[in-house]
Amino acid sequence: MKDSYPKGTTKEQWDQYSKDLNKHEQFIKDYKFFTDRICRHLNFIDHKKQWTIEEIRKTMIDEIDKSHSMDAPNKPGYFRANND
C-alpha cells in the first residue's frame, strides 16, 4: 500500500519535517527544564529580588510557549510561516 501525502508534498519532505519537529520538541522540553532550574537558582541567590519566582517563570514560560508555536518547523506544502 502506498503512503498518502498531501498534494504537492513528498515523503522526503515529511521525513525531514518529522526530524525537525522532534528536534524542536526536545529543545522546548530542555528549555522548560533549564528555565525552572534558573528560576529556582535566581530565587536562591537573591531572594529579595523585585520579581517573584512566579513572575519570572510565567514570563519565561510565555516566551517558551510563543517560541514553541512560532518557531516550529512548517509542515510541507505550507507556504506561510507559523508566525504569519
Q: Which cell numbers hold the place of 63?
A: 516566551
Q: What is the pLDDT of residue 47?
A: 65
For the segment 52-77, the average pLDDT, to the nearest whole number, is: 78
Q: Which cell numbers hold the place of 20?
A: 525537525
In terms of pLDDT, which residue wins out, 32 or 83?
32
- The Cβ of residue 39 has, within 10 Å, a number of other Cβ atoms equal to 21
Longest dimension (CA), the chain: 64
pLDDT digits (tens, 9 = 90+) for 27-42: 989 888 887 777 776 6
